[in-house]
Every structure is written in C-alpha cells, then in structure tokens.
Amino acid sequence: MGGKKTIGIVLLVVGIVILLLSLLAYPLGIGGPKFGPYQITGTIAGAIVAVVGLVLTLKK
C-alpha cells in the first residue's frame, strides 16, 4: 500500500507545480498578459492532478 501513497504524493506535488505555473505564467515571463486557453487548461489539469494525488495520499 505504500506505493499508492508515494504515487499520490508525487501526483500532488506535480499537480501543484502545474497549477502554480499556469496561474503565474505572466509574472514568471512565460505567458502573455491575458489569461489564455493554455493557462486555463493548465490550471484545470493541475488542480485535477493535485486532487487525485491528495485522494491517493489520504486513502487508507
């Protein structure tokens, strides 16, 4: 069961990184001034991956 917890933690961290990169793309200099479709997709995907990781991490 430890394997699922490890995968969950990895997914949680990766999801948070994707989410933050998408939300902060313009201030980091990797995106345009408008919140575009790639940022929206990245934000949603990052949130979903983070939630899946959280569920796997907290699952008994």
Q: Give the residue extent of every domain in the chain.
A: 2-58
From CA 21, how far away is CA 15, in angstroms rounded? 10
Helix (H), strand (E), coil (C) string for 4-60: HHHHHHHHHHHHHHHHHHHHCHHHHCCCCCCCCHHHHHHHHHHHHHHHHHHHHHHCC
Question: 17-42 pLDDT, tens per residue?
Answer: 999 999 999 888 888 888 889 999 99
Q: 1: pLDDT confidence band, cut at 50, 70 and 90? A: low
Tell me, what's the pLDDT at 32? 82
Q: Which residue has the higher pLDDT, 1 or 49?
A: 49
pTM metric for this prediction? 0.86
